[in-house]
Structure 1
Amino acid sequence: MAPVAERHWDAVIDVARQPGHVRRAVRDLSTSHWVFISSGNVYADFSTLDQDENAPVRAPLDSDVMADMSTYGEAKVACEDAVRASGVSATIVRSGLIGGPGDVSGRSGYWPWRFAHPTGDDVIVPDDPDFPCALIDVRDLAAWIVAAAEQHLDGTFNATGPTTTFREVLATAAHVATSTARPRPVPAATLAELGIGAWMGPATLPLWIDDPAWRGFATMTTDRARAAGLTTRPLMDTLRDTLEYENQRTEPRQAGLTDDEERRVRSALIAHRE
Structure 2
Amino acid sequence: MKLLILGGTAWLGHEVARQAVDRGHDVTCLARGYSGSIPEGASLIQSDRDEDQGLEPVATFQWDAVLDVSRQPGQVKRAVRDLRTARYYLFVSSGNAYASQGPLGQDEDAPLLPPLESDVMETMESYGQAKVACEQAVTEGFGSENCMIARVGLIGGPGDIFGRTGYWPLRFAHPSVANGTVLIPNAPALPTQVIDVRDLAAWLVHSCEKQLSGVYNAMGETQTFEEHLAAARTAARHEGQVVTADAEWLHSHGVGEWAGPKSLPLWLSNPDWHGMNARSNKRAKDAGLALRPLEETLNATLKWEEESGIDRPRRAGLTNEEEAELLTELVSTMH
Give TM-score scaled by structure 2 length: 0.80
Deviating beyond 2 angstroms after TM superposition, the runs of 4 or more aligned structure 1 residues are 270-274
- Matches of 1:132 and 1:254, distance apart in 2: 22
| Amino acid aligned to 1:70 | E
Partner secondary structure for residue 276 of structure 2: coil
1:253 to 310, 314, 317: 314
Q: How does 1:1-274 map to 2 (within 5 A)?
A: 1-29=55-83, 30-88=85-143, 89-120=146-177, 121-250=180-309, 252-273=313-334
Q: Deviation per CA, 1:147-197, whole angstroms, max 9, x where unpaired?
A: 101111000000111111000111111111111122211000000011001
| Amino acid aligned to 2:317 | G
Partner secondary structure for residue 237 of structure 1: helix
State the shift of 1:22 in Å.
0.1
State the shift of 1:214 in Å.
0.7
- Matches of 1:182 and 1:268, distance apart in 2: 16
State the shift of 1:119 in Å.
1.7
- Matches of 1:183 and 1:61, distance apart in 2: 43
Partner secondary structure for residue 153 of structure 1: coil
- Matches of 1:211 and 1:65, distance apart in 2: 30
- Matches of 1:270 and 1:2, distance apart in 2: 62
| Amino acid aligned to 1:256 | G
State the shift of 1:269 in Å.
1.2
Partner secondary structure for residue 326 of structure 2: helix
State the shift of 1:272 in Å.
3.1
State the shift of 1:103 in Å.
0.3
For these two proteins, the number of residue pairs brought into alignment is: 274
- Matches of 1:115 and 1:156, distance apart in 2: 37
State the shift of 1:49 in Å.
1.2
State the shift of 1:273 in Å.
3.7
CA contact (8 A) 2:80 2:142 kept: no
CA contact (8 A) 1:133 1:163 kept: yes
Partner secondary structure for residue 231 of structure 1: coil
| Amino acid aligned to 1:45 | S
Identity across aligned pairs (percent)?
A: 49
| Amino acid aligned to 2:259 | M
Q: Deviation per CA, 1:109-144, whole angstroms, max 9, x where unpaired?
A: 110000000123311111011100110000000000
CA contact (8 A) 2:89 2:142 kept: no
Any gaps of 5 or more consecutive residues in structure 2? Answer: 1-54
Any gaps of 5 or more consecutive residues in structure 1? Answer: none
Partner secondary structure for residue 86 of structure 1: helix
